[in-house]
Amino acid sequence: MTPRILIVEPHEDVRKLLELSMLRLGYEPVMPVDSGFGDVDAVVLEPSWSYGRTLLRQLGDDVPPVVCLSVYPREAGLAPPESVAYLVKPVSLAKLGDALRSVCGR
Amino acid sequence: MPLRSHARRLARTHLVGGLALIGLAATFGSMLGFKGTTAIGVVAFAPWVALIGFDAGLWAGVSTGAASVGLWLLAGSHEGMHTSAVQIAVRVGYLVLLGAGTAVVGRRLRASEQAHSSVAALQSALIDATVDGICLTDADGNILIVNAPLQRLARELGMPLEGTVPERLLAVAPRLTDPERYRRRMTELAQAPGEMTSDEFELAGTGRVFRGFTAPASDESGRFVGRIWTLREVTADRELDRMRDAFVATVSHELRTPLTSISGFLEMMLDEEEGLGDAGRTYLDVIRRSTERLHHLVEDLLLIAQIEAQRVELDVAIVDLPELVQKCVEALRPAAVEKGVELEILTEGAPTVRGDRHRLTQVLDNLVSNAVKFTDEGGTVTVSIASNGGSATLVVADTGIGIPSDEQGKVFSRFFRASSATQRTIPGTGLGLAICRALVEQHGGTISLESAEGEGTRVTVTLPTGT
């Protein structure tokens, strides 16, 4: 089964890029919608987006592993506790793929 | 005969005496500070004063025939009377001249005194009206002159009112944010009286920042005679710096979002290169290079902002310096080959250093890429590593365009670019060496630069070794 990756990103262009990137890397991109987004295997999150953190809380207590992809460095202290990887934008497709593979196992 | 002889003697004595008097008068006038025509006033009365002495000698001295002169005055002979009349006339004339001369000199002295007093008042008003607190101390640090702003700042800083300036400055240490650093600087200063120094310190809990500057004062022979101290509050300047840094950081972070889109979609397009024509590939290559430049600029701006805010944390470990140099040089070799610049490594020993591998790589990248960038085709860039007691030395030397001598002191400042680079329109931001210096110093090392325009540049870095 193809891992489902929730994309929580405020900028439309970057969101579109991440959607295409997920497809290229062999994952199923999931966009947050009001009706919910079902079970996901991992989250790619811009942690500086406050609404993104609110969305993360909607996942309940069982939050999947989070890959932070941010314009701010790790030292900014924005990463949520569920964060397992932290990447700073811009990032290459290869690096993003490495981070997701370490989270999803493939 | 005695009278004639006396007259001759008198005339001769007055002639010789007169000449001597002119000399004395000139000297006297000069000692009083008179020059040119003013000295005439002095000359006018000085002969009279001296003449009294001469005449007293004449009257009292046996050789001048005191008895005959006394007789000459008392007897009232025709010749004697005539001479006496002349003598009286001469004395009256001298009295008049003396009065006039004294009046002239008195007036000059009064005018000079007023002028001096007026200049002193203006000088005092001048130093009191400056923004900076200023004072002049003697060689022992005792205050000779102090202006009003310094007295005010000293009160605000809680400085004691007694003691030498170094003692008063040291007394402030406990009220500052970094008292140890401040005490260390004060001690260094006390040990180097000939040095000119400039330091900033912050008053704890207030946000108020002050910049102190001190320079030695020398006399005409160059002997150290004291020190000039200035103190300025730079709180507003630092606040502006903080706002600028915050602005730069915000803009730089915001630039990362469009950069993500540009570089991400560019990567995808380059993956589909087969569908592109030659022109399309060329265009994409231009976009790629420009994006990389923009990315580097953003990274440099953010790093310098982090450094300024002292937010760079080092992940310290033992680093094999020759191995690190090898990797950096190999990464930059394609650019050197493309430019026709020879790139070589000279290793003496295999020093390991204690440092952050990522940050040291940034330093090396900056230094070696600068050297390649500023060296023309056919030139050489040499990276040397050596172990020297407790430190490792890294030298990046090139045979490039060099830096004018009057600009070399500014090369480690943010955004500074040498005129030799801007005239040749060699791209750059002027941040590389500022970043290098900050990172090297954070590692407890030093960095220095020597350069000769048209001959090349040599940057030397020392780092503490570690095992």
- The token pair at A30 is 């999931």
- Residue A13, φ and ψ in degrees, nearest 5: -60, -45
**Across the interface, do B264 and A14 touch by the CB < 8 Å criterion?**
yes
**Across the interface, do B253 and A71 touch by the CB < 8 Å criterion?**
yes
A17 chain-B contacts, CB cut-off 8 A: 260-261, 264-265
A24 chain-B contacts, CB cut-off 8 A: 268
**pLDDT at site B112:** 85
**pLDDT at site B244:** 82
**Across the interface, do A17 and B254 touch by the CB < 8 Å criterion?**
no
Distance from CA of A85 to the nearest CA of B (A): 18
Query: What are the DSSP calls for B329-359, one per residue?
Result: HHHHHHHHHHHT-EEEEEEES--EEEEEHHH
Which of B256, B271, B291, B301 should one mutate to test binding to chain A, selecting the residue with the greatest count of A CBs within 10 A?
B256
Q: Against a cut of 0.90, is the pTM above it?
A: no
**pLDDT at site B234:** 93
- The token pair at B94 is 């001298």
Distance from CA of A71 to the nearest CA of B (A): 5
The angle, 0 to 180 degrees and rounded to 10, between the axes of the packed helices A93-104 and B235-271 is: 90
**pLDDT at site B69:** 47
A72 chain-B contacts, CB cut-off 8 A: 253
Closest CB from A17, A20, A73 relative to B260: A17
**Across the interface, do B254 and A71 touch by the CB < 8 Å criterion?**
yes
**pLDDT at site A4:** 93
Question: How many angstroms separate the CA atoms of B215 and B198, rounded?
Answer: 9
Angle at B280 between CA B292 and CA B372, to 5 degrees: 35
pLDDT at A31 over 60: yes
- B423, B437 Cβ separation under 8 angstroms: no
Which of B253, B254, B256, B260 should one mutate to test binding to chain A, selecting the residue with the greatest count of A CBs within 10 A?
B260
A93 chain-B contacts, CB cut-off 8 A: 264, 267-268
Q: What is the pLDDT of residues B354-387, one digit of tens each?
A: 999 999 999 999 999 999 999 999 999 999 999 8
Give, for all 467 residues of chain B, the pLDDT tens digit: 455 665 666 566 556 655 665 565 555 555 555 555 445 555 555 555 555 655 555 555 434 444 444 444 444 444 444 555 666 676 667 667 767 877 887 888 888 888 888 888 888 888 888 889 999 999 888 999 999 999 999 998 889 888 888 889 999 999 999 899 888 888 888 888 778 888 899 999 898 999 999 999 988 898 889 999 999 999 999 898 888 888 888 888 889 999 999 999 999 998 887 778 888 888 998 999 889 989 988 988 888 888 877 778 888 999 999 999 999 999 999 999 999 999 999 988 878 999 999 999 999 999 999 999 999 999 999 999 998 888 899 999 999 999 999 999 889 988 888 888 888 778 788 889 999 999 999 999 999 999 999 999 999 999 998 76
Q: Is the peptide bond before A10 cis (omega within 30 degrees of 0)?
A: no
CB pairs under 8 A between A and B: 45
**pLDDT at site B45:** 52
Question: How many angstroms separate the CA atoms of B347 and B321, rounded?
Answer: 10
Instruction: Find the range with the poorest average confidence among A16-20, A43-47, B35-39, B246-250.
Output: B35-39
**pLDDT at site B78:** 45
B315 chain-A contacts, CB cut-off 8 A: none
Closest CB from A21, A75, A90 relative to B259: A90
**pLDDT at site B428:** 81
B35 or A95, greater pLDDT: A95
Q: What is the pLDDT of residues B6-60, one digit of tens each?
A: 566 656 655 665 566 556 555 555 555 555 544 555 555 555 555 565 555 555 5
**pLDDT at site B19:** 65
Closest CB from A14, A73, A75 relative to B260: A14
Which of A17, A74, A92 should one mutate to test binding to chain B, selecting the residue with the greatest count of B CBs within 10 A?
A17
